[in-house]
Copies of this chain bind each other. A is one copy, B any other.
Amino acid sequence: MNYEALLHEHTLKATPQRLGILSLMHTNGHISIDELFEQIKKQFHSISLATLYKNINAMSETALITEVKIPNMKSKYEIAKERHAHLLCDKCGEFKDISLDIDKLIRLTEAKSKYKLNDTSLIFSGLCEKCK
């Protein structure tokens, strides 16, 4: 993926730190601030935690990345993508995407509620195939 272009599309400068952050987010899938700081320091020995926060905020505000709030644990961040739900294993902590017909779910809920819906946050938790 060309993160330099992606940053530019979101009117953000493509700095080495940001490319590093996006790369880590990509390889990890979902990552918390703490994990991110831990890992990014390996590449950028003197990176400031403030820089990390500023970048997370800048990229969130421009919707390049998304914060995923999870019950009973710290938020994780992911590169923005098409609508999807998440699966969490309460035992091993595996956290991953699952695609699901969210449009249908939205249509159903709109009918029931009279709301005009445009987004969802949907997290399932339980035990993964290995842990169950």
Taking a contact as CB atoms under 8 Å apart, the answer to whether A129 and B115 are in contact is yes
Q: How far is the CB of A127 from chain B (nearest CB, A)?
A: 5
Q: Is the interface of A mostly helix, strand, loop or mixed?
A: strand
Q: Which residue in B71, B106, B127 is a CB contact (below 8 Å) of A115? A: B127
Q: Which residue in B110, B112, B121, B127 is a CB contact (below 8 Å) of A122? A: B121
Give CA–CA (A105, B127) in the complex, Å: 16
A residues neighboring B (CB under 8 Å): 67, 69-72, 85, 87, 89, 98, 100, 105-106, 108-110, 112-129, 132
Taking a contact as CB atoms under 8 Å apart, the answer to whether B67 and A69 are in contact is no
* Chain B residue at smallest Cβ distance from A68: B71
Give CA–CA (A69, B75) in the complex, Å: 10
